[in-house]
Amino acid sequence: MAYITTPIYYANAAPHIGSAYTTLAADVFARYWRNCKKEPTFFLTGTDEHGAKIAQSAEAEEKDPQLFVDAMADYFREAWQALDIKPDGFIRTSDPAHAAVVQTVLQKLYDAGHIYEGEYSGWYCVGCEEFKTETQMGPDFTCPIHLTPLKQVSESAYLFKLSAYKEKLVHLIESDQFKVQPETRKNEVLGFLRQDELRDVAISRQNVAWGIPLPWDSSHTIYVWVDALLNYYSASVPSGPDFGGARPIFPPTLQLIGKDILRFHAVTWPALLLAAELPLPKELFVHGYFTIDGHKMSKSLGNIITPQELIDRYGVDGARYVLLASTQFGVDGDVSWEQFDSLYNHHLANNIGNVVSRVQAMAVRYLEGQITLSAIDHTLIASYMSALEMADLSRGLQLIQNKFDAINSAIEQTKPWELAKSNDSQLPGLIGGWLGDIFTVGALLAPYMPDTAEKIVGIFGTSINQINYATLDKEIVGDARTIAPTEPLFPRLSV
Ligand code: MSP
Closest CA to 259 of 180, 195, 185: 185
CA distances from 333 to 145, 337, 455 (A): 16, 14, 31
Q: How far apart are CA 436 and CA 403, in angstroms?
A: 12
Specify the residue with its C-alpha closest to ligand 1, atom 10: 9
Q: How far apart are CA 364 and CA 161, in angstroms?
A: 70
Residue 86 Cα to ligand 1 middle (Å): 19
Residue 329 Cα to ligand 1 middle (Å): 15
Q: In the predicted model, what is the mean pLDDT of the chain?
A: 94
Phi, psi (deg, nearest 5) at residue 406: -65, -40
C-beta 281 within 6 A of ligand 1: no
Q: What share of the chain is helix, strand, coil (3-state, %, to 5)?
A: 50, 15, 35
Whether the CB-CB separation of 27 and 254 falls below 8 Å is answered with no
Closest CA to 310 of 83, 45, 13, 85: 83
pLDDT at 375: 64
Convert the pLDDT of each residue in 112-149 to its tens digit: 999 999 998 899 999 999 999 888 899 999 998 888 99
C-beta 240 within 6 A of ligand 1: no
Residue 307 Cα to ligand 1 middle (Å): 15
Residue 275 Cα to ligand 1 middle (Å): 26
pLDDT at 56: 95
Give the list of residues 6+ apart from residue 180 with CB closer than 8 angstroms, or none: 173, 186, 189, 266, 283, 284, 286
Specify the residue with its C-alpha closest to ligand 1, atom 17: 258
Residue 87 Cα to ligand 1 middle (Å): 17
- CA-22 nearest atom, ligand 1: 19
From first to last of the 495 residues of the chain, give the pLDDT tens digit: 999 999 999 999 999 999 999 999 999 999 999 999 999 999 999 999 999 999 999 999 999 999 999 999 999 999 999 999 999 999 999 999 999 999 999 999 999 999 999 998 899 999 999 999 888 899 999 998 888 999 999 999 999 999 999 999 999 999 999 999 999 999 999 999 998 778 999 999 998 999 999 999 999 999 999 999 999 999 999 999 999 989 999 999 999 999 999 999 999 999 999 999 999 999 999 999 999 988 888 877 788 999 999 999 999 999 999 999 999 999 999 999 999 999 999 999 999 999 999 999 999 999 999 988 876 788 999 999 999 999 999 999 999 999 999 999 999 999 999 999 999 999 999 999 999 999 999 999 999 999 999 999 999 889 999 999 988 767 676 677 888 888 899 999 986
Q: How far apart are CA 305 and CA 14, in angstroms?
A: 11
C-beta 228 within 6 A of ligand 1: yes
Residue 426 Cα to ligand 1 middle (Å): 54
Residue 446 Cα to ligand 1 middle (Å): 26
Mutate to test the pocket of ligand 1, among 130, 289, 290, 329 (most ligand atoms within 8 A of CB): 289
Q: How far apart are CA 208 and CA 224, in angstroms?
A: 9
| Helix (DSSP H) and strand (DSSP E) numbers for the chain | 19, 18
Specify the residue with its C-alpha closest to ligand 1, atom 18: 258
Phi, psi (deg, nearest 5) at residue 44: -110, 130
Q: How far apart are CA 232 and CA 5, in angstroms?
A: 7
Query: Strands across the sheet with 151-160, in order?
Result: 130-132, 115-125, 151-160, 201-202
Q: What is the pTM of this model?
A: 0.96
C-beta 18 within 6 A of ligand 1: yes
Residue 494 Cα to ligand 1 middle (Å): 33
Whether the CB-CB separation of 472 and 37 falls below 8 Å is answered with no
- CA-264 nearest atom, ligand 1: 6
